[in-house]
Structure 1
Amino acid sequence: MASGLSASWMLAQEARALLNRLSRIKSFALQETMVPAAALGVEAQAAIERHLSRGVRRMKNRVLEFLDWLEGPDGARATPAECQKRFTFVRLRFNAVLSHVDIFSEALSQRSEAETGVWLSGLDVVCRDALALPGYIDPPPVICYLARGPGAAIRRARTRLPGGEENPIAIVRLPRERMISSSLASSLVHEVGHQGAALLGLVPSLRKELRETAPPQGSSSATWQLWSRWISEIVADLWSIAKVGITSTAGLMGVVSLPPPFVFRINPGDPHPTPYLRVKLSAAIGNALYPHSSWQDLDELWTSLYPMDRLDGARRELFAAVEQCMPEFVGLLVNHCPPALRGKSLKDVLATRERRPDRLAILHRSWSQGGSPSRLVRAPPTLAFAVIGQARVRGSITPEHEGDLLAKLLRHWAWRSTVDAGEVCAGITSNGAGAVVRETARFPEQAIR
């Protein structure tokens, strides 16, 4: 049977092993190989390095404090069980620090993949544009990575990581199969919308208004309870529609194009609206933000793809009831005035003239037929996605052309953000070397055709 001294010695050895492992956690800037254009933005890189450095430093202090206690008089008087209990808590905190390293490493390791890393850097730029809401929110850094599986997700900034530490950045996970066509923009901006909604406190304020608006009883009351249950995903869809227009709804149709039993399935525990209703709601929100016949065209197309004639009577009645009160709900949603917007509605702040379908069509004609494709790369990324996505929906461009354009744009945005960051860090002004850099910067634009 082990004595108190042998237990103390064993735990001291284990604690020292933790210190050795902590000393081998290196800065990502020293171990991730990637071309400069695939690298994280300066702000995101700095936030991650500060977070991990602080976590390692705190963990080292905890281990040293445990060793001091173990070798001191209190540790000498403690039983082996008490020593083990203290060490167990230290080791749990140690595992939490390593889990943070794994979380960021999973997102960063893909930056060294040929082409994929640069695309991800371009997506980071799109996220920054999608989250921008000057005067209302202070956006955190956002980075993206790809994963297997069907679902996109976001680990929001300022939420808790394992162990209780605050996440310094937002991390968006995208399925590899969505790196095509409208599904990419729709899913990406939807996930960014979750971060924007959290920063503005939209879900709590909307749930409060829904409770105050819902009828006290009856079938309508049950429908409003569904809106309240689904509101977090609905708000993210609203954000996506506001930023990329029809591209969002068309992309959503691609994402939820599943066998009919899944499209019509109602899962009480799922925060996502039933896919059939979600697409219809997306079109209704789009028409409320940017009125145009295109939204009705998408709605009718979706209905033709998934007719309800084979559903049982109960589900047909439920879907009919939801669709009946959808206009009232959409009106409440787009005109909602959360405290964070200081008297303005979501429609006032999120909707912009450039994302209207007729305006997007004009922009596409002027950018493509006018012989000025370079204007596309100078547009805000979400506007570029909106223009290209709607052109694809209208049949103005082919899927092949769309894919080529998106690939070139992602590479350009990644390259441009790298050059811009380099100019800032080097303190380059409009004179001298800066003129050379900006003259060279025109080259990638010539590839956008």
Structure 2
Amino acid sequence: MTETTSLHQHLVAADLERQIAHWLAAARTFRDAEEFASLEAWRSVEADIGAPLRRQINATVEDLISFGDATAKLVATARRDPSAIAQASAAVQRFRRRYVQVDTTLDFLGDAVNSRTSPVLRTALTTLDRLAVASMTAVLQRARKPVPKVLVYQDKGTGASILRAGVRLWAPGMVMPVAAIKIVRHNLYRPTSLFHETGHQVAFLTGWVPSVREAIARAVGNDPELRAMWTPWASEITADVFSFLHTGYASVAALYDVVGDTETILRWPLGDPHPIGWLRTALGCAFARSCFGANGPWDRLQQAMETRHPTTAVDPSLQALLTRSMEAMPRIAAACLSAPVPALRGRPMTDVLDPLRVSPAALSELERAAGPALWTSSHWRITEGIRIVALAGLREAEHPEAATTWIDRARAWLTTEARAA
């Protein structure tokens, strides 16, 4: 070995030592959960949500640091034995990549927890945590499945999303111990989308989606083009059914506010798992007609949508598919609502979640029976929280002239601690 080669190897080994010291020091900061979320935010997360998260985070961080310590030992060996430089260099690169994976995971979880930036938001999101769990409990208990805990967080955008409990995260070996649901700012106080997302979790645990896909295929079975169009949307349609069964027409009106963009409502992006917004809204209106009757605000919504977004604006080939879809819509809606759920021994979801509980008539009766206490009492918040969301959304949708009043009432209900009944 020449003197020059020896010097170069010494420089490489020294640089590896510097690199691993940097990345390992950064990894050790992960031991402090306040590095990525405030203490107040962590305290606002209930113990049965925060504790499993913290345990999973701690285990992942300690695994990362152990990996870093082992890498540092390899680098120290390389300082003494140049033949180990290649192995040490590869180990440093692996540690860097593992660090980035853990950083991405903790950044996501930290942002989720840290979205509880004020007492008002902490109260609202804590209420939504509980409503999300409540929406899954009856079905999963009947199916003899564990009910996941839920961490709801606020973020930007127009649509909600879920990271399901049990999925693998970016960091190797890290499994999400709770479901994390994003609720967007514009729908925070009209959170019907929350139940679309819990619907994804329930569908996964009960094997519901394939059944809905098969039911849709049968409903349009004599039209292969419609079958090819509709069946890939089964997952999102299943979640829409779940949301509808919890919040009724409120979920349909809220959905239309998300998909009713003139530039996209009649667009069919290749590979998008969501139905065309125009058809998705029409399907929600068909759910309402099937469960609540032919006449209602859902008819006015559909008429307004068809007037504002006529299908004549689209390519003739798509226009034909939209027309045939509308002819099949009552069959598609009935098929989705009656699709058997494997984990419920082949019974439909409506056996557990009766849509008539969120009909306009039933919600009006709830409003009458509870009176003003409906909006202030802890009893009503606990026993009828989901139907209160449904009622507020219904009133906002059916009375545009009073929408602001109902929006303010829903916000006050979500952000104010309830008093004893």
Q: Place the TM-score, normalised by the shorter chain, in its bin.
A: 0.7 to 0.9
Alignment of 1:70-219 (within 5 A): 70-71=75-76, 76=81, 78-132=83-137, 133=139, 134-136=141-143, 137-164=145-172, 165-180=174-189, 184-207=190-213, 215=221
| Deviation of the 1:229 alpha carbon | 1.4
Deviations 1:184-209 (A, max 9, x none): 32222222222222222222443455
Task: Give the TM-score of the pair, scaled to structure 1.
Answer: 0.81
| Deviation of the 1:279 alpha carbon | 0.5
Tell me the secondary structure at the aligned position of residue 361 of structure 2.
helix
CA distance in 2, matches of 1:7, 1:74: 9
Tell me the secondary structure at the aligned position of residue 160 of structure 1.
coil
Does the 8 Å contact 2:135/2:195 carry over to 1? Answer: yes
Match of 2:23 among 10, 15, 18: 18
| Deviation of the 1:60 alpha carbon | 1.5
Distance 1:296 1:107, change over 3 A: same
CA distance in 2, matches of 1:316, 1:18: 57
CA distance in 1, matches of 2:242, 2:330: 18
Distance 1:60 1:26, change over 3 A: closer
What corresponds to 2:258 in structure 1? 255
Does the 8 Å contact 2:20/2:68 carry over to 1? Answer: yes
CA distance in 2, matches of 1:265, 1:101: 36
Range that drifts further, 165-174 or 112-121: 112-121
What corresponds to 2:408 in structure 1? 404
Match of 2:274 among 272, 275, 300: 272
User: Percent sequence identity over matched residues?
Assistant: 22
Match of 1:224 among 214, 224, 227: 227
CA distance in 2, matches of 1:214, 1:94: 50
Range that drifts further, 308-317 or 119-128: 308-317
Does the 8 Å contact 2:216/2:336 carry over to 1? Answer: no
| Deviation of the 1:386 alpha carbon | 1.2
| Deviation of the 1:212 alpha carbon | 7.1
| Deviation of the 1:376 alpha carbon | 4.2
CA distance in 2, matches of 1:309, 1:207: 29
| Deviation of the 1:128 alpha carbon | 1.9
Tell me the secondary structure at the aligned position of residue 346 of structure 2.
coil
| Deviation of the 1:214 alpha carbon | 6.1
Match of 1:379 among 377, 383, 388: 383
CA distance in 2, matches of 1:356, 1:177: 25
CA distance in 2, matches of 1:61, 1:372: 52
CA distance in 1, matches of 2:210, 2:374: 48
Q: Structure 1 residue 334 and structure 2 residue 337: aligned?
A: yes
| Deviation of the 1:410 alpha carbon | 1.4
Match of 1:39 among 31, 40, 44: 44
CA RMSD after TM alignment: 3.0
Does the 8 Å contact 1:289/1:334 carry over to 2? Answer: no
Does the 8 Å contact 1:366/1:372 carry over to 2? Answer: no
1:262 counterpart letter in structure 2: T
CA distance in 2, matches of 1:75, 1:258: 65
| Deviation of the 1:249 alpha carbon | 0.7
Tell me the secondary structure at the aligned position of residue 265 of structure 1.
coil
Range that drifts further, 126-135 or 48-57: 126-135
Range that drifts further, 110-119 or 231-240: 110-119
1:245 counterpart letter in structure 2: G
Does the 8 Å contact 1:201/1:338 carry over to 2? Answer: yes
CA distance in 1, matches of 2:167, 2:51: 18
Deviations 1:148-181 (A, max 9, x none): 233322222211211342122222222222235x
CA distance in 2, matches of 1:299, 1:166: 42
Q: Structure 1 residue 308 and structure 2 residue 321: aligned?
A: no
2:26 counterpart letter in structure 1: R
Unpaired runs of 5+ residues, structure 2, are none
CA distance in 1, matches of 2:15, 2:269: 52
CA distance in 2, matches of 1:51, 1:78: 38
CA distance in 2, matches of 1:153, 1:6: 48
Q: Structure 1 residue 284 and structure 2 residue 286: aligned?
A: yes
Distance 1:53 1:75, change over 3 A: farther
CA distance in 1, matches of 2:372, 2:58: 52
Task: Give the TM-score of the pair, scaled to structure 2.
Answer: 0.86
CA distance in 2, matches of 1:401, 1:314: 44
1:46 counterpart letter in structure 2: A
CA distance in 1, matches of 2:96, 2:153: 29
CA distance in 1, matches of 2:271, 2:374: 52
1:367 counterpart letter in structure 2: A
| Deviation of the 1:302 alpha carbon | 3.0
Unpaired runs of 5+ residues, structure 1, are 417-440
